[in-house]
Amino acid sequence: MTTSTTFLGLGAMGSALAAAALDAGHPTTVWNRTPHRARALGERGATVADTVEKAVAGAGVIVACLFDHRSVHDVLDPVVDGLSGRTVINLTTTTPDEAREIAAWAEERGVTYLDGAIMAVPEMIGGPGSEIFYSGAGTVFEEHRPLLDLWGASTYFGPDAGLAALYDVAMLAGMYTVFAGFVHGAALVGAEGVSATRFAERQMPFLTAMVGQLAGLAATVDAADYTGAGQQSLRFTETALDTLMRASTDQGVDPAVLRPVHDIVRRQIAAGFGGHGTARMFEALRSTR
């Protein structure tokens, strides 16, 4: 089954999504604020619309993959009169509350809304390892599953439109801190002339091994038992972080990446939990909503 699909936003990710739909035989309309980005898709058979009004004038699903939450409103608000009764799948990166706001906006205007969070880079779309989280209108997820599965493994988290975005930002937090830790380490060895490529050859297998510790860390957090045997204490972790920060300064590297973690550990120790396991950092960070 093919679905007429309109794609709003043709950055690297939006273009990859549209190309996958086009290659699978879906009638595809594309629009971008800067028209030259639509040229390649037009040459492959997509209908290129020069205005948002023309892009959303036809039937089918509307897929938005834009810069941010504000961009979604900037693009959709002016054409809202033509969206009643339509389906919008928003794959723009937003906060959970922003996703919920757009969902409420859509419901008030008779638009069926599904929010999505892409857990892949553009080159991965349609290939192994690509996954997209969805939340919001379950009817859209089920009806358009063949389209969604073109882009990657599809996972539905339920009717709360903010849940896909919540998982997205939670997972990206881990990714960006890993990246920051890597470039910090690269800066340390780089001060002695070691290339980042050579450092990566050492760092990658080490981090892979460390990721295997997450299941045990998660079990500790879920049990809220930070006094069990085998846990590295916060005092030990503070000493380790102190050493890392001194070494960074000695190498002429800004310890800014390490400082927030060090501060969290020190606050927990000051609160009397120095003998508890390092996983107790969760208690300093957990939501109080």
Enter the tokens of residue 39. 């040229």
3-state percent breakdown (helix, strand, coil) of the chain, nearest 5? 55, 15, 30
Domains 5-160 and 167-285 share a fold: no
pLDDT at 257: 98
Q: How far apart are CA 158 and CA 136, in angstroms?
A: 6
- Please, which residues have CB within 8 angstroms of residue 284's CB and are 6 or more apart in sequence? 264, 267, 268
pLDDT at 288: 77
pLDDT at 289: 75
- Cβ neighbours of 10 (radius 10 Å): 28
pLDDT beyond 90 at 59? no
**N- to C-terminal Cα separation, the chain:** 44
Q: What percent of the chain has pLDDT over 70?
A: 100
Task: Give the pLDDT confidence of 250-287 residue by residue, as tens digits.
Answer: 999 999 999 999 999 999 999 999 999 999 999 999 98
Which string of DSSP letters, residue by residue, matches 110-156?
T-EEEEEEEES-GGGTTSTT-EEEEEE-HHHHHHTHHHHHHHSEEEE
The number of residues in the chain equals: 289
- The average pLDDT across 124-137 equals 98
Tell me the pLDDT band of 94, cut-offs 50, 70 and 90.
very high
CA 189 to chain centroid, in Å, comes to 30
> Is 253 exposed, middle or buried (CB count within 10 Å of its CB: 0-12, 13-18, 19+)?
buried
Please compute, for residue 173, the number of CA atoms within 13 A of its CA located in the half-sphere on the CB side.
8
- What residue segments make up the domains of the chain, in order of their start? 5-160, 167-285
**Which CATH number among 1.10.1040.10, 3.40.50.970, 3.40.640.10, 2.60.40.1510 corresponds to the domain 167-285?**
1.10.1040.10
pLDDT at 140: 98
Q: How far apart are CA 11 and CA 8, in angstroms?
A: 10
pLDDT beyond 80 at 3? yes
pLDDT at 287: 82
- The average pLDDT across 31-37 equals 97
pTM of the full predicted structure?
0.94
Task: Give the pLDDT confidence of 12-30 residue by residue, as tens digits.
Answer: 999 999 999 999 999 999 9
Class of domain 5-160: alpha beta
Tell me the pLDDT band of 58, cut-offs 50, 70 and 90.
confident
